[in-house]
């Protein structure tokens, strides 16, 4: 190869070998700060987990190399959180000068006779273990020993890193579409270490805010001049927003279930598969969406569970994140708003329940102040951490259910030569009784439930009720396959 050709190749490689444009913001936003600091109350831990079933066990060295490559492609995973001195500013992400991949990546082998229950118990123990806040808050655990030569990959993240949508934006770029190793993929360098103390960070933030004051003042003045030009519209919009914010912030008009009142630090994982086309067809019979059918199935499960335990209820307080991402938003991070409802648990007809749920969700999405927490969160985040934990817990502990629907992938994906068969997303229990997530993967809806053991005292019965709740909605689709519970 001549010198000129070699230089061209090196130049092309240099342009290509850059990290992904994902989660590049240095400073946490208000919601992320709330989640990070609210953990002063351990019941408010915001740990999210992805549990992927793999068709084989990847070669260990290749798997570790893939994790190393991923941490260079997404430098957020080589960063730790630094709090400003005295907690007076905003937490920031800083390149960890002592980053050690060996700490974050490990493997576990199940016993010879292990199955899904043993896999879930292992994942529960990893998920319930708090992060070392002096390190980057993530772990990747390869779990060997599943039947038929399968293995599993548990990826554990702190929610302040990203929300579900941001996580799948990343997975879409990191996971391979083939089993074979790609020698031509980008190879960015590790980010340079940063030595930033809490005091340095506080001084930096105070200086930046001081410089921003004149510009902010001019911007505010311009906004005021424009508002004075149309005072009637401005007052009307402000009143409409405040009325909406009052509705959004208010507690749902529903009593919490007497069966789900207790809270603890103990988690229990459950999972089942539902055929994607069947659930979507059932939703269409009621003029609803896949999300409407998902929520209606969960409410059916809770109705059945309460009936079997002799405590019939008509409504229950639930919460659901609503994505506020725009097409031009940066990828990664957290961009969601929380909506809370008095959910119609007592509606036995699945078609009527889908319609009721659909109306409820559409009304929430139309609220002008649906993202009102984005305005409040920066103020709340400045409160002392113990007070913030109590305040956040007071809001979420009334939720009997938090449900999330995350669009996944319809194509085949591989990691270190192993094909991903299913992906289950286990969300946190920040004071709520249950967190249940739907992730679409190829032709399946992967349903993952994280339940508080003090609230759901009979998790095996609850798992059966989840099956029954989805089966009830699937009666609206002719020829639907029954739900498959992983147990």
pLDDT digits (tens, 9 = 90+) for 381-421: 666 666 666 666 566 778 999 999 998 888 999 999 999 99
Task: DSSP for 228-277, please give it.
Answer: HTSHHHHHHHHHHHHHHHHHHHSPPSSPPPGGG----S-EEEEEEEEEHH
Q: Residue 95: pLDDT band by 50, 70, 90 thresholds?
A: very high
Can you give the pLDDT at residue 441?
A: 95
- Gap between the Cα atoms of 153 and 140, Å rounded: 7
Nearest CA to 398 among 250, 256, 248, 253? 256
Q: Residue 215: pLDDT band by 50, 70, 90 thresholds?
A: low
Give the other-Cβ count within 10 Å of 261's Cβ.
12
Per-residue model confidence as pLDDT tens digits over 14-69: 447 999 999 999 999 988 998 999 898 899 999 999 999 999 999 999 999 999 99
**Do β-strands 105-109 and 336-343 pair in parallel, antiparallel, or remain unpaired?**
unpaired
Residues 16 and 186: beta-carbon distance below 8 Å = yes
Note whether residue 352 is domain-resident: yes
Per-residue model confidence as pLDDT tens digits over 98-148: 999 999 999 999 998 899 999 999 999 999 999 999 999 999 999 999 999
Per-residue model confidence as pLDDT tens digits over 295-313: 999 999 999 999 999 999 9
CATH label of the domain that carries residue 296: 3.30.559.30
Nearest CA to 435 among 399, 466, 464? 399
Q: Is 387 helix (H, G, I), strand (E, B) or coil?
A: helix
Place of tokens 């009142």: 261
Note whether residue 436 is domain-resident: yes
What range defines the domain where residue 350 resides?
A: 251-407+430-485
The Cα-based distances of 37 to 178, 356, 381 in angstroms read: 40, 36, 8
- Gap between the Cα atoms of 151 and 145, Å rounded: 6
Active-site residues, by number, are 159
Percent of the chain predicted with pLDDT > 70: 83
Residues across the chain? 487
* 317 bridge partner residues: 342
Q: Residue 445: pLDDT band by 50, 70, 90 thresholds?
A: very high
Domains of the chain: total: 1
Note whether residue 269 is domain-resident: yes
Please name the helix (run of DSSP H) or strand (run of DSSP E) that holds residue 153, with its range, or none: strand 151-158
Can you give the pLDDT at residue 255?
A: 87
Per-residue model confidence as pLDDT tens digits over 237-267: 556 665 655 565 566 778 899 999 999 999 9
Please name the helix (run of DSSP H) or strand (run of DSSP E) that holds residue 106, with its range, or none: strand 105-109
Residues 229 and 131: beta-carbon distance below 8 Å = no
Nearest CA to 273 among 428, 479, 484, 478? 484
**Pair of tokens at residue 48:** 């999210």
Note whether residue 273 is domain-resident: yes
Note whether residue 35 is domain-resident: no
Place of tokens 């001019």: 218
Q: Residue 202: pLDDT band by 50, 70, 90 thresholds?
A: confident
**Do β-strands 418-426 and 414-415 pair in parallel, antiparallel, or remain unpaired?**
antiparallel
Note whether residue 96 is domain-resident: no
Mean pLDDT for the chain? 88
- Gap between the Cα atoms of 450 and 124, Å rounded: 9
Can you give the pLDDT at residue 14?
A: 47
Note whether residue 78 is domain-resident: no
**Pair of tokens at residue 130:** 């708090």
Note whether residue 264 is domain-resident: yes
Per-residue model confidence as pLDDT tens digits over 160-179: 999 999 999 999 999 999 99
């Amino acid at each position: 190869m001549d010198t000129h050709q070699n230089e061209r190749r090196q130049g092309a490689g240099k342009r290509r070998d850059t990290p992904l444009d994902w989660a590049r913001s240095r400073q946490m936003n208000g919601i992320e700060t709330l989640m990070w600091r609210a953990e002063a109350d351990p019941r408010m831990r915001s740990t999210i987990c992805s549990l992927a079933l793999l068709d084989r066990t990847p070669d260990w060295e290749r798997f570790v190399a893939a994790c190393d490559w991923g941490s260079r492609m997404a430098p957020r995973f080589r960063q730790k959180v630094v709090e400003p001195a005295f907690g007076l500013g905003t937490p920031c992400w800083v390149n960890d000068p002592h980053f050690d991949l060996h700490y974050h990546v490990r493997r576990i082998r199940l016993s010879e006779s292990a199955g899904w229950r043993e896999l879930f118990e292992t994942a529960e123990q990893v998920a319930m273990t708090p992060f070392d806040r002096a390190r980057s808050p993530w772990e990747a655990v390869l779990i060997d020993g599943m039947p038929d030569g399968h293995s599993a990959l548990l990826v554990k993240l702190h929610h302040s890193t990203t929300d579900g949508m941001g996580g799948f934006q990343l997975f879409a770029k990191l996971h391979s579409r083939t089993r074979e190793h790609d020698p031509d993929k980008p190879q960015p360098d590790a980010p340079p270490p940063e030595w930033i103390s809490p005091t340095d960070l506080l001084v930096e933030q105070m200086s930046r805010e001081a410089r921003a004051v004149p510009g902010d003042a001019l911007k505010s003045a311009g906004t005021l001049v424009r508002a004075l030009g149309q005072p009637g519209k401005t007052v009307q919009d402000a009143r409409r927003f405040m009325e909406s914010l009052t509705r959004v912030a208010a507690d749902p008009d529903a009593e919490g279930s007497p069966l789900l009142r207790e809270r603890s630090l103990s988690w229990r994982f459950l999972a089942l598969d539902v055929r994607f086309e069947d659930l979507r067809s059932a939703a269409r019979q009621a003029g609803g969406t896949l999300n409407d059918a998902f929520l209606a199935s969960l409410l059916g499960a809770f109705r059945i569970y309460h009936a079997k335990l002799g405590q019939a209820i008509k409504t229950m307080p639930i919460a659901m994140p609503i994505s506020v991402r725009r097409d031009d938003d940066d990828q990664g991070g957290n961009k969601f708003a929380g909506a809370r409802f008095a959910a119609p648990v007592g509606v036995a007809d699945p078609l009527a329940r889908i319609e009721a749920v659909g109306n409820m969700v559409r009304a929430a999405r139309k609220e002008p102040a649906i993202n009102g927490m984005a305005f409040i969160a920066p103020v709340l985040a400045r409160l002392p951490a113990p007070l913030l934990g109590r305040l956040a817990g007071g809001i979420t502990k009334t939720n009997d259910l938090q449900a999330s629907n995350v669009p996944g992938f319809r194509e085949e994906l591989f990691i270190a030569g192993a094909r991903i068969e299913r992906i289950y997303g286990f969300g946190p229990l920040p004071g709520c009784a249950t967190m249940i997530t739907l992730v679409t993967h190829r032709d399946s809806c992967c349903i993952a439930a994280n339940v508080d053991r003090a609230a759901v005292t009979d998790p095996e019965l609850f798992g059966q009720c989840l099956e029954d709740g989805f089966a009830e909605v699937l009666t609206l689709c002719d020829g639907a396959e029954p739900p498959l519970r992983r147990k």
